Homo-oligomer: A and B are copies of this chain.
Amino acid sequence: MYNPQLNKHGELQHLLTLEGLPASIITRILDTAASFVSVSDREVKKVPLMRGKSVFNLFFENSTRTRTTFEIASTRLSADVINLNISASSASKGESLLDTIDNLSAMHADMFVVRHAQSGAPYLIAKHLVETGQDHVHVVNAGDGRHAHPTQGLLDMYTIRHYKKDFHNLTVAIVGDILHSRVARSDIHGLTTLGVPEVRAIGPRTLLPSSLEQMGLRVFNDMNEGLKGVDVIIMLRLQNERMTGALLPSAQEYFKSYGLTPERLALAKPDAIVMHPGPMNRGVEIDSAVADGAQAVILPQVTFGIAVRMAVMSMLASA
């Protein structure tokens, strides 16, 4: 597959997926993010790196939480932000996705942050921009279908590096509905690229894609087995719609088999960290005692997420 993420100088032109992104670029993003973590602590939380740049949040799928993180990151880079919630209804007004893109690009947009229910939509947009020579516009994938959520993946890598320093001796477990999770997919690509020797997938058969073993993961249906000796536990959110569907008996049953309780957490290494992309379903995939416990790094993930998005956006803007 043609990869439009990098320009001819090997710089990041668009951020679409962590799949195939060189470790050197991921590391550069994490290093840049580290410099922004301190910005958020300052009295005046702004740097002028994107002053006068126009960032468009193109949310074809509603997500207040993700949109907010990008809006804050843009604002702290001094960019101007325009929020566009493009519902299915207005998209059906007869204008094609690419006509919308060309229009906004003609307004001298500098960046599109794209959230879309369909896998591949940000890739389509980036490909179109490259093919039509609109090199002044950069695309950030803010989550597309089941495909990828690269900034979430990057902030997870940042968090792991922050607490564990090195990737080369870690065992990381991803727990839950991997089948429907773009977060899991981005995490797996990030972990593999950065050299994590053992990545485990834990969940019921119905929620694990069959391809995991080919991707080099160890697969566990028994959570107690899977958690033994791990350094990092990445819990996934169980979507409400799965709970009422045919894939799962009930939320209570799910918690009994795959909820992260203090007892189960004790099976991991004593200094293991617990991550979650949020929003959490307390009592479904995670026990409140764990979510609020000493090993949880769920709120630091949020803080690092702003810095990582600032890093990605500022690197794209200077490409």
Contact = CB atoms under 8 A, between A and B. Distances in A.
Interface of A: 40-46, 51-54, 64-65, 68-69, 71-72, 75-76, 80, 82, 84-86, 90, 93-96, 99-100, 102-104, 106-108, 240, 278-282, 284, 299-300, 302-303, 305-306
A210 B71 CA distance: 48
Contacts of A284: 94
A85 B84 CA distance: 13
B51 A44 contact: yes
Contacts of A90: 64
Contacts of A302: 103, 106-107
Contacts of A306: 107-108
B43 A103 contact: no
A94 B281 contact: yes
A247 B21 CA distance: 55
A252 to B, nearest CB: 15
A297 to B, nearest CB: 11
Contacts of A75: 54, 80, 82
Contacts of A303: 106-108
Contacts of A94: 240, 279-281, 284
Closest 8 pairs between A and B when the two form their complex, measured CB to CB: A44-B52, A95-B279, A106-B302, A106-B299, A40-B108, A75-B80, A45-B52, A46-B52
Contact of A72 (B54, B65, B85, B278): B54
B72 A107 contact: yes
Given A84-B64, A299-B103, A108 B45 contact: yes
A104 B80 CA distance: 21
B99 A279 contact: yes
A262 to B, nearest CB: 19
Contact of A96 (B41, B65, B82, B282): B282
Given A44-B52, A72-B80, A94-B279, 6 more contacts: A41-B108, A46-B52, A68-B82, A68-B104, A99-B280, A100-B279
9 contacts: A42-B52, A46-B51, A64-B90, A65-B103, A76-B80, A96-B282, A100-B279, A103-B278, A108-B303
A41 to B, nearest CB: 7
